[in-house]
DNA sequence: CTTGAAAGGACTTGCGC
DNA sequence: GCGCAAGTCCTTTCAAG
């Protein structure tokens, strides 16, 4: 389906992650390509699903939701959050990941206040054991997707027990 | 600094999170406003920092980084990841959050393969205890920031021990 | 892939409500 | 604060080399 991405594709991806509203002309200038050439590449990246869309980046703090937390759920049998509720029931839950290990899922929640967070935890707690971690500060998130480094291919194998 | 956001602002925010490349004309049609009116509102949202930017939404799976994990770090004294390394040392780390509780930070990492993940864990492990959770599937993430619900203001107080 | 041209659309400004 | 309308600029998209 998706052909290998070359260096120019990755430069385009990097630029569009920094500014998703660049015109083909502006984008072409930054990657040393003519407007029609970048337009064709971008079209292919969109078609292959590498570029899933273009979004405004909303700052939750400025938007009035300064508090964030991680919640590991270990759902009780028959009460699993994923099977007994819908997304609309918990607008505060902005991410849901199914996990390996002892927890069944990891949630990321955003709330307006501590009181709001308290209420949310009580509602979530009805579905099983929780392990919560309040975020004190976010160093960064949404870091740009980058081309695989050389380390990704030449992985250092651990010594011992090797065949 | 930031005036209260009204309903129209939230509609604009919702539309731009769905499609960050909408023209003022298109955006105005969707929120029942003229192009100059939306342009002025968007300009203010950008100035106040609510709209932090516009980014292409890159699908990590399609981009060749199908594996993701959460890593809780409990850094050893003097070896804290945040103080002894720089972001460029770990391009696989796409999020860093400082946490309350027993862990000092929560990382989100993205890698190309299990071998890559193994190597990364070994490098991270040198900075302290780790608690890792591999993501099996992501239900959703990057859910749109939404206006505060009524529940956010009228929070149910728990019974008992109340003053 | 690049260049060049033509067509279409977007952004802005000013004015009136 | 919003809408309407006009002018200017830019962008996009063809075609040809």
A55 contact partners, CB below 8 Å, separation of at least 6: A20, B16, B17, B18, B19, B20, B54, B55, B57, B142
| Same domain, residue pair B127 and B71 | yes
DSSP at A102: S
Q: Tell me which residue of A36, A41, B135 sits closest to A15, measured CA to CA.
A: A41
Q: pLDDT (tens digit, 9 = 90+) per residue, B116-146?
A: 999 999 999 999 999 999 999 999 999 999 9
A39 contact partners, CB below 8 Å, separation of at least 6: A24
| Same domain, residue pair B40 and B90 | no
Could you tell me which chain A residue has the CA closest to the CA of B53? A57
Degrees to nearest 5, angle at CA A49 with A47 and A54:
95
Does residue B156 surpass a pLDDT of 80?
no
Backbone angles phi, psi at A128, to 5 degrees: 150, -170
Rounded to the nearest integer, the mean pLDDT of chain A is 93
Q: Is the CB of residue A135 less than 8 Å away from at least one CB of chain B?
A: yes
pLDDT-above-70 percentage for chain B: 93
SS3 of residue B123 by DSSP: helix
Does residue A156 surpass a pLDDT of 60?
no
Confidence of residue B152 (pLDDT cuts 50, 70, 90): confident
Give the residues across from B83 on adjacent strands. none
Look at chain A and report how many structural domains it folds into.
Answer: 2
Give the residues across from A98 on adjacent strands. A105, B137
| Same domain, residue pair B78 and B48 | no
| Same domain, residue pair B100 and B51 | no
A123 assigned to some structural domain: yes
Protein contacts of strand C with Cβ less than 7 Å away: A 8, 28, 32-37, 40-41; B 23-26, 35-36, 39
Q: Which residue has the tokens 């399609």?
A: B62
Give the range of the structural domain holding residue B111, as residue numbers without chain letter.
67-134
A143 assigned to some structural domain: no
Q: Which helix (H) or strand (E) holds A55?
A: strand A51-58
* pLDDT computed for residue B159 by the predictor: 63
* CATH classification of the domain holding A114: 3.30.70.920
* pLDDT computed for residue B136 by the predictor: 97
* pLDDT computed for residue A103 by the predictor: 82
Q: Which of B2, B15, B30, B63 to mutate to test the interface with A (most CBs of A within 10 A)?
A: B63
Give the residues across from A73 on adjacent strands. A105, A130
* pLDDT computed for residue A102 by the predictor: 84
Q: pLDDT (tens digit, 9 = 90+) per residue, A82-112?
A: 999 999 999 999 999 999 988 889 999 999 9
pLDDT-above-70 percentage for chain A: 93
Q: Which of A56, A86, A130 to mutate to test the interface with B (most CBs of B within 10 A)?
A: A56
Residue A85 has which token pair?
Answer: 């509720």
A146 assigned to some structural domain: no
A110 assigned to some structural domain: yes
Q: What is the mean pLDDT of residues A55-65?
A: 97
């Amino acid at each position: 389906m998706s052909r290998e991405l070359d260096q120019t594709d990755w430069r385009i991806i990097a630029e569009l992650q920094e500014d998703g509203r660049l015109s083909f002309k502006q984008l072409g200038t930054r990657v040393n390509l003519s407007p029609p050439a970048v337009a064709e590449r971008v079209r292919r990246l969109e078609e292959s699903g590498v570029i899933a869309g273009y979004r405004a980046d909303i700052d939750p703090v400025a938007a009035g939701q300064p508090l964030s937390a991680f919640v590991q759920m270990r759902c009780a049998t028959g009460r699993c959050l994923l099977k007994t509720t819908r997304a609309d029931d918990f607008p505060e839950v902005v991410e849901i990941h199914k996990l390996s290990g002892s927890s069944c899922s990891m949630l990321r929640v955003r709330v307006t206040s501590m009181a709001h967070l308290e209420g949310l935890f009580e509602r979530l707690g009805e579905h099983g054991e929780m392990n919560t971690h309040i975020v004190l500060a976010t160093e960064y998130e949404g870091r740009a997707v980058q081309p695989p480094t050389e380390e990704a291919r030449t992985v250092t194998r651990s010594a011992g027990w090797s065949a």
